Chains A and B, each alone.
Chain A
């Protein structure tokens, strides 16, 4: 019953992600200037702010994708369910199975649709064909792609449209059953109709997942997110319920940005 206890405990915890005094440097340049933030479980949190404000860098801290960037250095702590993920003994591969990511440009592997979705499971060493097939079907159904592609499951993923590719990438992330999904401007390369579909999907996903989304589109942040954080020059300026932040922001800078006066 230990498992159940752990699950209960994590359900009771209100905050899924937490950053403590986080500073990020690229060589001498300070990209994040000390951010304290708590992100709620099973909610959608949007990061907004002008280009270069550090929101993408901050997002990528949660699955340690910045580790590959040259000159990257970090101070402070990032906690997931209370565990510091930058501790030495943390298994980064294991972490990334728990924290899925969707990128700005759809980036399916140059393989079949099936292989794309099954990839995360296969690299964990799962070989059971029937299980993989079920899981692939499940994941594709979750993103509403199954009916569109069930005949072409073995065809190249690159033949899909941009919007379908992005949904495939979300299905790929869901297949390994993460609890957190990070999205880095997932709709900025898509047309309005595909964007609407993805937004709808994200909204549905929040029941099961904690979602953090970086977006340049303020309407989008307002439409789908529960909480919004406004970043500027590597600092967290304001962080509140989206409704509050977009209608009645506390800070002048936030208001200037969301009303389009700069940025």
Chain B
């Protein structure tokens, strides 16, 4: 058998192997989502979304948990965004080659790998106890903000790095200061990339359960939070709580809540993709 033939067979083999691997993940996901849909879709109606929690499965709704998730998302964004972007700008544009920068860099990469429950413990000690925020939305948001900061920083840095050096040169050569170059050229040019990273980080935050349980988010909260200092629950905790109940009705509720949660992440990811494409088009 000559080499050309052998290469071609290897080519084909690898192609099929690749296809099989791609579909394995996809098929499993479809089976999972399909079974959830079959279980939960009939439970989803307007009442399910607007009802407060209840002991009776058929009357229980996700309103408090959904509102808790929305609060958490908003506050986490407000906290993590400016800090993350500013840190990324510092590391990428100012600190570039210093020893301090490389030390920080290693640590940030390490932080991205720390299990989320550890962040929960940190949040419990620092925000709930020392800063006396209690088991509030605010404490939860700070904790999640810490959790996603490394992701925001890394993705913002990548986006800044992707701006060609020629743009920086051009801006400096026109007499722009460093800050003018950053604010008028680099940030606008990398906005799409930064936004994508942030939305992906947030869609991770919306699914986090462990750190919030640790800081004391409750499975049962009678009312939706009205201020950042209120107690709260979030969708994943609600799901976790319902699944652990013996009655079949709650299982259906859990499936329905999962659909809502998936929908939220799906919408967020779509927005991220939309913005990325729009920005790429604008740059062309």
A residues adjacent to B (C-beta < 8 A): 63, 65, 68, 70, 93-97, 100-101, 103, 105, 107-111, 119-120, 122-124, 156, 158-159, 169, 172-173, 176
Contact = CB atoms under 8 A, between A and B. Distances in A.
A119 B282 contact: no
B180 interface: yes
Contact residues of B: prevailing secondary structure:
helix
Contacts of B171: 109, 119
24 contacts: A63-B173, A65-B172, A70-B97, A93-B176, A96-B175, A97-B175, A103-B170, A105-B166, A107-B166, A107-B167, A108-B170, A109-B170, A110-B283, A111-B188, A119-B174, A122-B184, A123-B177, A123-B180, A124-B175, A156-B284, A158-B284, A159-B284, A172-B174, A173-B173
B241 interface: no
B117 to A, nearest CB: 42
A162 to B, nearest CB: 13
Given A109-B185, A156-B284, A159-B284, 19 more contacts: A65-B169, A65-B173, A70-B97, A93-B176, A93-B177, A96-B172, A96-B173, A96-B175, A97-B175, A103-B170, A107-B166, A107-B169, A110-B167, A110-B189, A119-B171, A120-B174, A158-B284, A172-B170, A176-B174
A123 B176 contact: yes
Interface string B33-73: 00000000000000000000000000000000000000000
Contacts of B184: 119, 122-123
Interface residues of B, number: 21
Interface string B189-208: 10000000000000000000
Contacts of B176: 93, 119, 123
Contacts of A169: 170
A94 B184 CA distance: 18
A82 B176 CA distance: 24
Given A156-B282, A158-B283, A107 B174 contact: no
A108 B177 CA distance: 18
